[in-house]
Copies of this chain bind each other. A is one copy, B any other.
């Protein structure tokens, strides 16, 4: 039987997480394929977010979420806040705070919807537009860097599989 333990305090650097999981959970009745697929989605997402924050967003004063919210409004044009929250993947209460921050930078503006006074519309200001026009190409260059090691077929397969996952989950979401 092979000795698995390495040195006391540095084992994380020598053994991969996936090996450790195999050691720890090897005997259990688990769906490992599902586990690796899901956990790698999360790991990739974290790594990508960190990368983009530290390259494109580094000196803009924008947070990741701030950027995503502006991106949504940029793509869709003037929008109702509840759609923006949904698209950005954040709770409506969170959006209130994010919009407050973005408004303080004069990147977005709120406007009441005259047809329904409960609703609030969001638009980019000219300076917000300018920022997105300059940021987006940089953003896309880094996206290309992220998937540089995958050939075109794999990129498309990756996106397609993820779309299936997302649609499956959103289709099953509770009301």
- Is the beta-carbon distance between B34 and A147 smaller than 8 angstroms? yes
Q: How far is the CA of A46 from the CA of B44 in the complex (A)?
A: 12
Chain B min CB distance to A70 (Å): 13
A131 on the interface (CB 8 Å rule)?
no
Cβ of A111 under 8 Å from chain B: no
A170 to B49, CA, bound (A): 12
A2 within 8 A of B: no
Q: Is the interface of A mostly helix, strand, loop or mixed?
A: helix
Interface: A33 (CB within 8 A): yes
Task: Indicate whether A168 reaches chain B with its CB closer than 8 angstroms.
Answer: yes
What is the CA–CA distance of A161 and B164 in the complex, to the nearest angstrom? Answer: 16
Closest CB in chain B relative to A129 CB, distance in Å: 12
Q: Are B166 and A149 in contact (CB under 8 A)?
A: no
Q: Which residues of B contact A141 (CB under 8 A)?
A: 31
What residues of B have a CB within 8 angstroms of the CB of A76 in the complex? 11-12, 20
Q: Does A130 sit at the interface, judged by CB under 8 A?
A: no
- A contacts, CB < 8 Å to B: 9, 11-12, 17, 20-21, 24-25, 28, 30-31, 33-51, 54, 74-76, 79-80, 83, 86-87, 89, 113, 115, 119, 136-137, 140-141, 143-144, 146-150, 152, 154-159, 161-166, 168-170, 173-174
24 contacts between A and B (CB under 8 A): A9-B113, A9-B115, A12-B83, A17-B87, A31-B143, A34-B147, A34-B155, A36-B155, A37-B146, A37-B162, A38-B48, A38-B146, A40-B158, A40-B166, A42-B49, A43-B89, A43-B166, A44-B45, A47-B89, A48-B165, A50-B89, A154-B161, A157-B157, A157-B161
